[in-house]
Amino acid sequence: MAKIKTNRYYEDFLYYYQKAKDQQAKCNLGSIPHPESGMADTLMEYVELYDVVERKLAGFSQIKNDVFYGWSKEHPYYEKMQAGNISAERKEVATKWDGKQKTFGMAEWFYVFLLHAVTGSGINYAKKPSGYHNSLLFHLHECDTIEAMCEVVKTHSKPFYTSVGYQFPKFPKPPQAEASGFVGMENYTPQFQYKRGGDYYLCEFAPRLVREMADMMQKENRKFPLRELGEWMFAWNEKNGLNAYRFQYAAFLADIADFYPEYIELYSPFYYGTNAVECISYLADPVGKMNKIEFLDEVMLQINRDTGGRPYDAEDVACDYIRWVENYVRPGAAYDHLDYDNLWNSSNIKDHPFGRQKAMLELGIIETFNGMKHHPSDDKVIAEAGITVEQYKNMIKEHYVA
């Protein structure tokens, strides 16, 4: 007996998934410019966010590919790189990091991935390419140890934390006195006076975490379910007086799956971020009683059956899908030249009440989207017009019938 009942949003999700997969092959991995990809979807053709169904190829993973593979044939974009179809950022990073596999072991790579995740993953959706913003990974190529990388963290003079489209964990407060009070560090006095909690975490906690984790995984030498490793990390944080860091650690776990797949059950259940939960809630309804996680897992299983996508990849696709439905574009240097009144998805959902919708213009609810400083989230547009979600959907019914 089926545990969920999918709906029109689910069918639309599958439609989006196939288009994103197509554009991934053409533009992300291939060399066809986005505007020439023939998506019949101006949002996908002009905003470089909706061209991926694998996390490893998403914007926040671009620089990780560069540092991990350098300028080698193993790099997913090697053919494009050899052909000169490459950003200045990729050319710089891949060249500088070439050969680091000879000096870095698992723990060192884990540290790089974790640093990237907790400092913002280089995300800035208003820039192209979007995954290199304020990244400290531009400056760690000369380091051969975690300790050397920590010294860069302590002394780097320019910003390397980015909250543009991201959220930081609640970092521990740097100690001002002699003892930290954390387990295993009762008698520890930092030799460096940290000003930022993030730096304190990266230099005094993260090195121990990644070394213990890498050591444990290598000793057991098996494939781990993603959530088993996640629970191990959350327990480690609790033991050491830290919050769980669920969002950032989930991103880190996905990196392990991408770059150390021999240690991961790749089709095991994953964690769900806020955007993914919002998306999945639209796709289906439960049949009978089940808790929230069971429902989310059932929908993800159905997505896997219909697309073949791995859960940790599909979670990211779900985040992109809800942005696509709401015609998300982040105003900024890369996209300010576009006409936002003619930049739309090809979704079959015409009465979605949130975000930026073409019908909002056609109905005169808003005069123009050009000149916007921020993407209108949630029900901002209709709420400012004094219209409820139900009223808006009724207006849409009449509008498209007419």
pLDDT tens track for 352-364: 999 999 999 999 9
Is pLDDT of 186 > 60? no
Q: Does a structural domain hold residue 300?
A: no
Identify the domain containing residue 229 by its residue range.
Answer: 4-263
Number of domains in the chain: 2
Q: Does a structural domain hold residue 305?
A: no
pLDDT tens profile 74-101 = 999 999 999 999 999 999 999 999 999 9
* Same domain (yes/no): 238, 383: no
Q: Does a structural domain hold residue 319?
A: no
pLDDT band at residue 401, thresholds of 50, 70 and 90? low
* Same domain (yes/no): 258, 357: no
Is pLDDT of 192 > 90? no
pLDDT band at residue 233, thresholds of 50, 70 and 90? very high
Q: Which residue has the tokens 């955007």?
A: 275
DSSP 213-260: HHHHHHHH-SPBPHHHHHHHHHHHHHHTT----HHHHHHHHHHHHHH-
- Given its phi and psi angles, is residue 173 left (phi above 0), alpha (psi -120 to 50 degrees) or beta? beta
Q: Does a structural domain hold residue 156?
A: yes
- Given its phi and psi angles, is residue 121 left (phi above 0), alpha (psi -120 to 50 degrees) or beta? left
* Same domain (yes/no): 248, 354: no
* Same domain (yes/no): 177, 45: yes
* Same domain (yes/no): 227, 372: no
d(CA 100, CA 79): 20
**What is residue 126's predicted lDDT score, i.e. its pLDDT?**
73
* Same domain (yes/no): 110, 247: yes
Domain boundary residue among 204, 232, 263? 263
d(CA 293, CA 299): 10
* Same domain (yes/no): 102, 241: yes
Q: Does a structural domain hold residue 330?
A: no
**What is residue 181's predicted lDDT score, i.e. its pLDDT?**
47
* Same domain (yes/no): 70, 185: yes
Q: Does a structural domain hold residue 134?
A: yes
pLDDT band at residue 189, thresholds of 50, 70 and 90? low
Q: Does a structural domain hold residue 29?
A: yes
Q: Tell me, what amino acid is at 14?
A: L
* Same domain (yes/no): 231, 362: no
Q: Does a structural domain hold residue 332?
A: no
Domain boundary residue among 244, 263, 282? 263
Q: Give Cα separations from 394 to 187, 208, 350, 365, 397 (angstroms).
A: 66, 57, 11, 14, 5
d(CA 140, CA 92): 13
